[in-house]
Amino acid sequence: MISEGAILKRLRAICSRLPAATEGLSFGHPTFRVNTKIFAVLEEYKGELGICVKVGKLLQGIFLDDPRFFRTPYIGKHGWVTLRVHAAPLDWNEIRELVKGSYQLVAPPEKNDTQRRARKRKAG
């Protein structure tokens, strides 16, 4: 079983690659933000470690059909889900995409534009 420290290290590496992303603590949990908006959290809830991301209200139900996910307490009503990190082997490509999607939902338009321009430079 992967440790909380190892999970945080990998999550931090994913989040730190996003434009203007910062790390802080909120209620004792590591949080990742762009400006003042949180886009990822590593937290323990009722003894279960999870990675929280925003997926939006429209897609939330799809994730909740998967037993690896549950509606994030308190903020789930705003389209957040939590991935149970010990429910199944972690797919870090999936986590990377979830984090990037969450970032895109909360980042101001100019941050998303910066990310799109960087991708075009790499592809071109």
- Say what the pTM is: 0.87
Residue 7's pLDDT is 97
What is the domain partition of the chain in residue ranges? 4-110
Looking at 3.90.1150.30, 3.40.50.300, 3.90.1170.50, 3.30.450.40, the CATH number of the domain 4-110 comes to 3.90.1150.30
C-alpha torsion angle, residues 61, 97, 115, 33 (rounded to 10): 70
What is the 3 state secondary structure string of the chain? CCCHHHHHHHHHHHHHCCCCEEEEEECCEEEEEECCEEEEEEEEECCEEEEEEECCHHHHHHHHCCCCEEECCCCHHHCEEEEECCCCCCCHHHHHHHHHHHHHHHCCHHHHHHHHHHHHHHHC
Q: Print pLDDT tens along the chain (124 aa).
A: 789 999 999 999 999 999 999 999 988 899 999 999 999 999 999 999 999 999 999 999 999 999 999 999 999 999 999 999 999 999 999 999 999 999 999 998 865 655 555 555 555 5
Residue 27's pLDDT is 86
Residue 68's pLDDT is 97
Residue 18's pLDDT is 96
Q: Please give the distance of CA 86 from its chain centroid, rounded to a whole number.
A: 16
Residue 28's pLDDT is 85
Q: Look at residues 123, 119, 83 and name the one whose alpha carbon lies nearest to residue 99.
A: 83
